[in-house]
Structure 1
Amino acid sequence: MAAVAQGKKGPKGPKGPSRLGREVVGRIVALRAQHRSLRAIGAEVGVSEFSVRRALKLAADRGAAETAGTAGAPAAAEPAAPAPDARQPELPILPAPVARAAERAAAGELEAASPVFAAAARVPHAGLFLAFPALEASGLLEGAKAVYGSLPNGFYGLESILVDAVLRALAGEARAEGATRFNPADLGRVLGLDRAPEVKTIRRRLGQLAETGKAQELIAALAAHHLTSTGPGGENLAAVLYVDGHVRAYQGTKKIGKLYSTRLKFPVPATEETWVADAHGSPVFVVMAEPGASLAGELRALLPELRTAVGDGRRVLVGFDQGGWSPALFAHMAGAGFDVLTWRKGATPDLGEALFTGVAHTDEHGETRTWFAADTLVDLPLAATKTTGEVFQMRQISRIVPTKGGGTRQIHLLTTDLNLNAGEAIHRLGARWRQENQFRYARMHFDLDSHDSYAGTDDDPERMVPNPARARAYQKVLAARKHHAEAAAEADAALLALKNPPAGTNEVTVTNAMINQAKAPLWGAETALTTAEAAHQRLPQRVRLGDLAPGQQVADTETKLITHAIRMAAYNAAMTLAREIRTNTGYAKATNEAHALIRQAFHQSGDIDPTVPGHLTIRLDPLPTKRATNAIAELCDHLSATKTRYPGTGLILRYALKNTTQP
């Protein structure tokens, strides 16, 4: 009992005055703003880590109380800081948006409301301001003005509708319905308006653009701007273009024609688009393909528009997969100033190993790759002139690659560019997967395959389409041919057995009846084959769509092309900023994390400061990690140097991270 009594502690209570005075709290807040750890702050100030946490909470509580108790007085951008930095003025936290009631009342007489910015701190989605230099470089706003001029009078003009759409896409909500997932006032602050447009307004304004029927002109304007501009590492982007078809599945209730989807592995109601990408895999051009059209046919039709977009007569290397296989097309492209780069289709004899040597190529990132390849010339028969023996000569580059079974096989690519380094040709065709990656990324982050319009029009009933009955009949021909070959083999075996009796038999007597019996299955197979071939030949190759699928419809294309233009601008803006992080910051993991980092930065809060005449300063809040904060700070310095003007204003954008060197 004595031991227990001696160990008993006195009553709990304060042992002395608190060490967390205003001066100490202010010092802790200042150190925390420098991204110091709680433990390091405690060691420097001389308090425990728990006290550091308590001091930060006290500072936050004081800042909230002062803000609530001061009517109309601006609150500090950083809570309870001892002396605000003169370069970071105190701004009100999320003040009421600038009143625009008069402009809304006069919307019918107003072409568009101009952006007006009020000083505000901790604005959600302030990171979206980072996109404006890249958005300007995309040419979307410039091209839209040239094509459409303006929208009918209203509060939300052409620029605000397009900027809103691009920013929502970058924030992960590309569809019009995505506007419901934002606070209209929050996104409105980024747009310089009292509130962002709502779903019905977005649909109505995009519908007004679609009614003009100029969506393809907008796409062409974007392509011309993209291919004639000089971007980072893209001084000759038009030197290489990739073309591929993209099947967009349809899940609505309209009667839409079916197409085979290589991604889904079965036919589905869908529309098909033909996309063109640059050497980086960034989208440049898109057209809605005719239902059931082949990639070869679409390529031939695209060439004049690609030449217009390139803007001069230089030869352009066009890469595509085997869907565009056509020696006649290759000859046509070569004559039109385009070089072909594709895989060889069909069975090809293997080359001798003595022809293979090592080739190499160093890519734009400085990485060198080597291959074992053979460089030869081949003659391809032109399909339209097989009877005359006319051929088209192309360069064939062959590689030996391993197979799953442990062996090897040869693959062959073809090109009409006789001067291209063999290693670069292999690299360029392999880089065609950048376009596939673009489709995948855009499906994940930009809702590429979404239904942006539920409207549709009747398909042309007089349009001639392939006859599916003929295809089914041809399958019967193939089955009959296979059965005929098997019957012929069995008949030969039976006749051979008749002529070669078992050992010990002296005489062989083969009668007509025996021969007829042996050949009977073959004669039956010949009759079935003749009947199947005749039935196949009687069917027409093409039939009227109205006879085959009456009432078939085509999904709206104008609205989809406009939203594609918006997504292209958003995608290219995101890729440009990710490229800037890789090349102009010291972010150690930029190669693998640049895209994720820029998406994170888009959602970062920050301050909007229009107090400096002629400038709009955006100060972003620090990111969760120090390395990410430092990378975005470096990006801000680089973007500030572009001196981009906010669309529709004369304000030059300046960027910074809080408590870092300001522009």
Structure 2
Amino acid sequence: MTIQTALPVLADLGGVLMGEHAALLENEVGGKVFINGQLAYVWGAGQDGLRRLAASQLVDTGAAQVNEVAAGFGVNTESLRRWRKSLEGAGLLGLAPVKKGPKRPSLLTDEKAAQIRAVRVGGVSLRATAEATGVSTDTVRRAMAMTTATEAATGPSARDGVAPLEAAEQLALPVLPAPVPRDGERAAARAGLLDCAAPVFAPAAHIRHAGLFLALPALETTGLLSCAKEVYGSLPDGFYGLETILIDAVLRALAGETRAEGATRFNPVELGRVLGMDRAPEVKTIRRRISQLAEAGKAEELIAALAKHHLNMSGPDAEDLTAILYVDGHVRAYQGTKKIGKIYSTRLKFPVPATEETWVTDAHGSPVFVVMAEPGASLATELRNLLPELRTAVGDDRRVLVGFDRGGWSPALFQHMAEKGFDVLTWRKGASKNIDDDQFAEVSHTGENAQTRSWSVADTLVDLPLAATKTTGEVFTIRQVSRIVPATGGGTRQIHILTTDRDMSAGEVVYRMGSRWRQENQFRYARMHFDLDSHDSYASTGDDEDRLVPEPAKKKAYQKVVAARNAHAEAAAVADANLLALKTPADGAGEVTLTSAMHNQVMAPVGEAENALVAAEKVHKSIPAKVRLGDLSPGQQVLNTETKLIHHGIRMAAYNTAMSIAREIRTNTGYKRATQEAHALMRQAFNQAGDIDPTKPGYLTISLDPLPTKAKTAAIAQLCEHLNSTQTRYPGTGLILRYKIKSNA
């Protein structure tokens, strides 16, 4: 019967479905069980034994699962297990209800419960505890359950420093209920009658991704939502609004899926519970909504607004955020089929089709600003163009220390930056004279982590010739801080740091220059965890074919000039040696007369080398330094930048959110390994399951499951206490977020 074709069961008759095959019809006169639409079991009123027989055999014959039958018959799985065991041992008589005798006094008095707990707490097994106290193992379980209920009702547990939930809160939440229906709002959105759907939360227990709620207080400090509202206002009418799309993108990034395609790796209903929706937006919706933002053409305004918000935050070390900035270029390689210009990648060590971006980070290495670099532009050129935007983001006339690598080397740029209120911090490029050893002295500096470092440095001033005025001898005087470091292959060498800041201590100059590696760490971390180098959009437009670009033939011709010069110098050296040998005869030889023929023969290779040099220089001079792009590489494309910048804004917010949570773990928890494991613990917490409870007016309580170890659980509990103090509201609602960790009891 269980493998026959299923016959329909009329739901209107009140049938309770148990799996795909069985249904139960029950009323005051009895009950019936149908398997695949055919009547299989019947019992009358009061025939509880036959009812239990039907339930037991539904499981034994494989017509339905244990949990399905238990739910259909309104009992728990333990009762159903006892019925099946009785049927197996005593047949139908074992299922007959037994009339209960007079109730005897319970053995589990308060004194007995205390005795059981005293024995059990020592680590004794259930059976040993039962034997020692003269009760059954079930009584031991009830005694321990009474303990848990009492602790939950009276206050926090002393174990692990974790506050358990109230018993009412633990029992009231349904497990994985259906999401709040939003059919009406979706219909209104399709008709163009809804601006956007607001988040709505329903009580639910054991929700996946509940740990992502921990990111919301830090996300608010990044300013992504407020800046996006300021720049874009809102998205076109639809079910998913601007805030929902951005929160979804950031939370997916923190969960390890930054790209839109990553939405396919989430259950949309599960992620939707965190967003307050019946389901999270899917790939096509995300792409369409981001495209609508890109059509507005305001991505650069969004990045500028984020930078201004970041650089004007208040809090510890906030002054350093604007006092010190680092700038560097980042090459994003392209692997598609379109004709994209090549750029040399220092990471890959060869030229690749790519686009280049200029990133600005703060003193902690957190991204602040990003612009798409002009094709072929040097870092020095990008720095000069970036200064007005940096000044706007800083918001006042204070001097800002800007650190960068040798790619921005230009004494003329250094002078320009100093005149515009920016101080330079960079490495010296090219050959330079070593500083005398007697000028070195010991200096030290204490960083943000309270660790003091010492170096031996020489603090001097040097003159840099300005490229445009080499003939006049004009120079730019700049401060040079030199260090002695180990050299490759043994020994030592001197490295030189240049800065226009005359007031900063030499120790801090060395420390700040070394901190530029935080920007490299940001690139590496963002590539690993936030898909920094992903394209996000493969759309492209034609490059400006009238743009002048370097002529590659010019470089090749110059290489031939250099080779010709070396050949000429080598020929001249050989000729001089031969002439000297002719003029200086061996001992005992007579005088040698040097004739014109002999001289011409010795100097002939020099003449040939000189002619080759002149010819090479002539060819090099005849080749223009720059040519039209259309003549050199017709049909070259440039990748879309608008969509990429929007995603960069989202990635910046996600990165800064992650760094804030990791910093809170290091500074506001007692986790002993926080220095080494803060980021790993943060990612583990983000992926933790938990409960959502909006039943208390004005609050949205998130109760996370305990982590695998006591130390980690206690650390996240302390993090929750700190986040509760921020009184953060869930975006788009009036609900204040409150975080808890469930008790292990």
Q: What TM-score, normalized by structure 1, do the two folds share? A: 0.88
How far residue 481 of structure 1 moved from its aligned partner, in angstroms, is 1.2
2-side partners of 1:472 and 1:326: how far apart? 25
- 8 Å contact from structure 1 (residues 319, 340) kept in 2: yes
1-side partners of 2:633 and 2:321: how far apart? 43
How far residue 132 of structure 1 moved from its aligned partner, in angstroms, is 0.4
1-side partners of 2:122 and 2:410: how far apart? 69
- 8 Å contact from structure 1 (residues 114, 648) kept in 2: yes
- 8 Å contact from structure 1 (residues 633, 660) kept in 2: no
Any unmatched runs of 5+ in structure 1? 1-20, 32-36, 49-53, 63-81
- Kindly report which structure 2 residues correspond to 1:434-445, keeping only aligned pairs within 5 A, or say none: 434-445=518-529
2-side partners of 1:126 and 1:463: how far apart? 52
Helix, strand or coil for the counterpart of 2:634? coil
Aligned to 2:646: 562
Say whether 1:467 aligns with 2:571: no
Amino acid in the other structure paired with 1:450: S
Helix, strand or coil for the counterpart of 2:594? coil
- Kindly report which structure 2 residues correspond to 1:221-260, keeping only aligned pairs within 5 A, or say none: 221-260=305-344
Over alpha carbons, which structure has the higher Rg?
Answer: 2
Say whether 1:289 aligns with 2:373: yes
For the structure 1 residues 398 and 114, does the alpha-carbon distance in structure 2 shift closer, same or farther, using more than 3 Å as the test?
same
Aligned to 2:465: 381
- Kindly report which structure 2 residues correspond to 1:108-507, keeping only aligned pairs within 5 A, or say none: 108-507=192-591
What do the CA deviations read for 1:428-456 (whole angstroms, capped 9, x no partner)?
Answer: 00000000000000000000000100100
What do the CA deviations read for 1:306-355 (whole angstroms, capped 9, x no partner)?
Answer: 00000111000000000000000000000000000000111000011000
Helix, strand or coil for the counterpart of 2:167? coil
How far residue 488 of structure 1 moved from its aligned partner, in angstroms, is 1.3
How far residue 287 of structure 1 moved from its aligned partner, in angstroms, is 0.0
Amino acid in the other structure paired with 2:444: A
How far residue 171 of structure 1 moved from its aligned partner, in angstroms, is 0.5
2-side partners of 1:544 and 1:600: how far apart? 54
Say whether 1:647 aligns with 2:647: no
2-side partners of 1:40 and 1:441: how far apart? 45
2-side partners of 1:83 and 1:613: how far apart? 17
Helix, strand or coil for the counterpart of 2:314? coil
Helix, strand or coil for the counterpart of 2:726? coil
Aligned to 1:85: 167
How far residue 257 of structure 1 moved from its aligned partner, in angstroms, is 0.2
- 8 Å contact from structure 1 (residues 84, 90) kept in 2: no
1-side partners of 2:468 and 2:335: how far apart? 40
2-side partners of 1:394 and 1:45: how far apart? 82
Amino acid in the other structure paired with 1:46: T
Amino acid in the other structure paired with 1:385: T
How far residue 410 of structure 1 moved from its aligned partner, in angstroms, is 0.4
- 8 Å contact from structure 1 (residues 230, 236) kept in 2: no
Helix, strand or coil for the counterpart of 1:333? helix
Amino acid in the other structure paired with 2:589: T
Helix, strand or coil for the counterpart of 1:251? coil
Say whether 1:94 aligns with 2:168: no
2-side partners of 1:220 and 1:646: how far apart? 25
Choose which of 173, 186, 198 in structure 2 pairs with 1:104.
186
Say whether 1:544 aligns with 2:631: no
How far residue 83 of structure 1 moved from its aligned partner, in angstroms, is 11
2-side partners of 1:459 and 1:618: how far apart? 51
What do the CA deviations read for 1:627-659 (whole angstroms, capped 9, x no partner)?
Answer: 111111000000011000101111110111112
How far residue 84 of structure 1 moved from its aligned partner, in angstroms, is 6.3
How far residue 512 of structure 1 moved from its aligned partner, in angstroms, is 1.4
- 8 Å contact from structure 1 (residues 341, 429) kept in 2: yes
User: When the two structures are aligned, how many residues end up with a matched partner?
Assistant: 605
- 8 Å contact from structure 1 (residues 372, 399) kept in 2: yes
How far residue 394 of structure 1 moved from its aligned partner, in angstroms, is 0.5
How far residue 40 of structure 1 moved from its aligned partner, in angstroms, is 4.0
How far residue 41 of structure 1 moved from its aligned partner, in angstroms, is 6.8
Q: What TM-score, normalized by structure 2, do the two folds share? A: 0.79
2-side partners of 1:145 and 1:101: how far apart? 27
Helix, strand or coil for the counterpart of 1:109? coil
1-side partners of 2:662 and 2:477: how far apart? 42
Choose which of 692, 712, 733 in structure 2 pairs with 1:628.
712
How far residue 302 of structure 1 moved from its aligned partner, in angstroms, is 0.3
How far residue 404 of structure 1 moved from its aligned partner, in angstroms, is 2.7
2-side partners of 1:538 and 1:39: how far apart? 94
Say whether 1:606 aligns with 2:694: no
Bigger mean CA deviation after superposition, 102-111 or 281-290: 102-111
2-side partners of 1:638 and 1:470: how far apart? 62
For the structure 1 residues 44 and 574, does the alpha-carbon distance in structure 2 shift closer, same or farther, using more than 3 Å as the test?
farther
- Report % sequence identity: 71
Aligned to 2:129: 46
What do the CA deviations read for 1:278-324 (whole angstroms, capped 9, x no partner)?
Answer: 00000000000001110000000000000000011100000000000
Helix, strand or coil for the counterpart of 2:206? strand
Amino acid in the other structure paired with 2:218: A
- 8 Å contact from structure 1 (residues 456, 555) kept in 2: yes
Aligned to 1:14: none
- 8 Å contact from structure 2 (residues 364, 518) kept in 1: yes
How far residue 89 of structure 1 moved from its aligned partner, in angstroms, is 4.6
CA RMSD of aligned residues (A): 2.5
What do the CA deviations read for 1:29-81 (whole angstroms, capped 9, x no partner)?
Answer: x99xxxxx999474998389xxxxx99xx99xx9xxxxxxxxxxxxxxxxxxx
Aligned to 2:155: none
1-side partners of 2:552 and 2:332: how far apart? 22
The one of the two structures with greater contact order (alpha-carbon pairs below 8 A, sep at least 6) is 1
- 8 Å contact from structure 1 (residues 282, 572) kept in 2: yes
